[in-house]
Every structure is written in C-alpha cells, then in structure tokens.
Amino acid sequence: MASHRRPKPPTPRYAGVVTATAAAAVALSTQSASADPLPDPAKKGVQARVDRLYEQATQATEKYNGAKEKADGLRAEVAALQDAAARKQGELNALRERIGTVAAGQYRSGGLDPSLQLFLSGDPDSYLERASALDRVGDRQTAVLQQFLGRQRALQQQRRLAADKLADLGSTQKELGSRKNEIQGKLREARRLLDTLSAKERERIAADEDRANRASTRVSLGNEASASQRAAAAFAAAQSRVGMPYVWAASGPNSFDCSGLTSWAFRQANVSLPRTSQAQANVGTRVNSLSDLRPGDLIIMRTDLSHVGFYAGNGQILHAPKPGAQVRYESIARSGMPFMWGVRIG
C-alpha cells in the first residue's frame, strides 16, 4: 500500500487552545490546592478511569459475544432435535396404526393374540421380557413390536436431549442479560464521569479522539505482502471499514466491535472464524514475535485475550478499539494493550 502523508503539525490557533486549556488546568489545580489540600477524586484522573471503564466494557462485550454465539448454537441444536423428535413421533404413530390394524383384524376374526393384548396393555416396555412365555408369538410379529419399542425409546431420548439443550439455552440467555447489564452499566458510568468534566476538558478529549480517528488517513503502512491470499482479502475488507463506529456486540457491515470486525472481514474472504477474540486466538498458526507478523495476520492483545485486530504493517494495528472510537489504524506500541501473539490464517 502506498504511504500516506504525515500528520500536519497543530495550527497556531489549535496550539493556542491547548496552551490555554493547560494553563487553565494549572490555575484550577493551584487554586484548589490553596483552598483544600486534599485532591478531589471526582475530578482527578477522570480520563484514566473512563479509559478503564471502556476497557472493562470491551472485555464484557467479548464475554457477551461468547454467550450469544453459544445461545445461537443451542437454538439451532434445539430446533434440529425437535425436528428429529417430530419425525420419530410420525414414524411411531404410523407403526402404532399398523399394529392396531393387525389387532383389529384379529379381534374381528374371533380373538386377540395374547402378545398383542400384552403389547396394547399400556406397558409395552416389558413386552419383550414377558413375551417369551407366550407360545403364540411369531417371529415376524416380534420383529414389528421390537421396531416399535426401539423407535419409542429413540423418541424419548430425543426429547430428553431437547429438554437438556433448552435448559442450557435458558441459563445462557440469563448470562446474556447479565453481560448486557454489565456493559451498559460501565458505559453509563463512563458518561457520568465525563459529565463531571468542564466543557473545555470534554472538548479536549473529543479533539484527541477525533485526531486519532483522522490519523488513519495519513498512516504509513509500508508495502509488505500478506502471508496468504485469504489473509490479504480479509485485510482488504477490514480496510474498507475504516471510519465505521465501534458498537458493542456489532459485527458489521456498518458498525463493529473488535472481534466483530475480524470475523466479518474473514467472512468476506470465505473463511469462518469464531465470534470472540479468545476463540480467534486459538485458530490458524500462532506467530509469537511482532517482527514475524505480516499484514492480514490477527493480533491478540491483553493478557485475557480480550482484544483482536489486524496487523497492518509498519508496526500498526487495524482494529475497532473501544466505545466512542472508529475502526482505525494505530501504533501497536502506543495502543496501551500488551501484545500476546499473532494468528496467521492460511
């Protein structure tokens, strides 16, 4: 990829705003110290606390994504089990009708076979153990009744499996609700903290975020090739999403969280990845050194593996970093997140 222009130095007007803001902050802190020697915890380090809340929200988002992926899989399994149970019930009903027809014919002929009397008594499961005492049981009839009992047991097993999966789904849906509340609580607390800042402080934070977003148009990535065509295609798809907003639990095409971006991009390259960063950390081939990464390799970040992005070349990561940010390029060294390892998809 061709290199882009370097970032422009701040304009004098902007530099003046920054200087004025810094001077105001110093004046305020001096005034506060003279009036009250104790620091105000509601004002001190607000940005760091907000960043920590955003980090916790993204970590909870990956747990939410994992629970949602599990819930989606359980719903599919339950539907398949219920469909199979319905088919088995239909087969059982047809076989029961067949046996009933035989019994009705025997009754009209003057008597009901003792084996059928036993079978139709309401306790067919004990039939095969007791049928050996009956002299008039034929091999063909025994085979039909064995088939019925086998299908009945299979139906019962299918229903038990469906019930177990439904119970799992219920507990997983509770976890989804808990994770959602956790994420929304972190984001509400972050907004509350930001609201405690002055208008100028909020403007400075917004300007910093805007500058980081706009820096993606000027980043230099070098010209190193991807390790595979699939990785190149996925990376190109992710590059087309630069500027799209971070939204928790979103997986495209117009908003993303971190693993939502990587899984969406690889789907465009006809590669299916797990939904969470922790699961994506264990696919493909591990690359342990930053120096061995190629554009399009996944980068796994944080000790709990709760963040993922694309290696973009020249020490840059392409990712959806946090709430309030956009999909963008950033320096890995300045991301504030420890690099764990890379993942190469062939």
The 10s digit of each residue's pLDDT in 74-132 is: 888 888 888 888 887 887 787 777 766 665 655 555 555 555 555 555 555 555 555 54
Kindly report the average pLDDT of the chain as a whole number: 80
Q: Helices 46-108 and 258-268: crossing angle, nearest 10°?
A: 60
Which own/partner contact pairs does 125-131 have at CB distance under 8 Å and 24+ positions apart? 125/149, 125/152
* Catalytic position from the list 60, 155, 258, 305: 258
pLDDT tens, residue by residue, 254-266:
999 999 999 999 9
Average pLDDT (40-54) is 76
Q: Is 4 marked active-site?
A: no
Per-residue pLDDT at 146 = 73
307's CB contacts (< 8 A; 6+ apart) are 58, 258, 277, 300, 301, 319, 337
* Catalytic position from the list 70, 319, 322, 328: 319
Whether pLDDT at 133 is above 70: no
Contact 331, 220 (CB under 8 A): no
Per-residue pLDDT at 164 = 87
Contact 309, 216 (CB under 8 A): no
Per-residue pLDDT at 163 = 87
Q: Is 258 marked active-site?
A: yes
Per-residue pLDDT at 16 = 38
Q: Is 307 marked active-site?
A: yes
pLDDT band at 231 (very low <50, low <70, confident <90, very high): very high
Whether pLDDT at 345 is above 60: yes
Single-letter residue type at 321: P
* Catalytic position from the list 70, 165, 307, 344: 307
Residue 73 CB neighbours (<10 A): 14
Give the distance from CA 251 to its chain's centroid. 9
pLDDT tens, residue by residue, 204-224:
988 988 888 888 888 999 999
Q: Whole-model pTM? A: 0.68
Whether pLDDT at 328 is above 80: yes
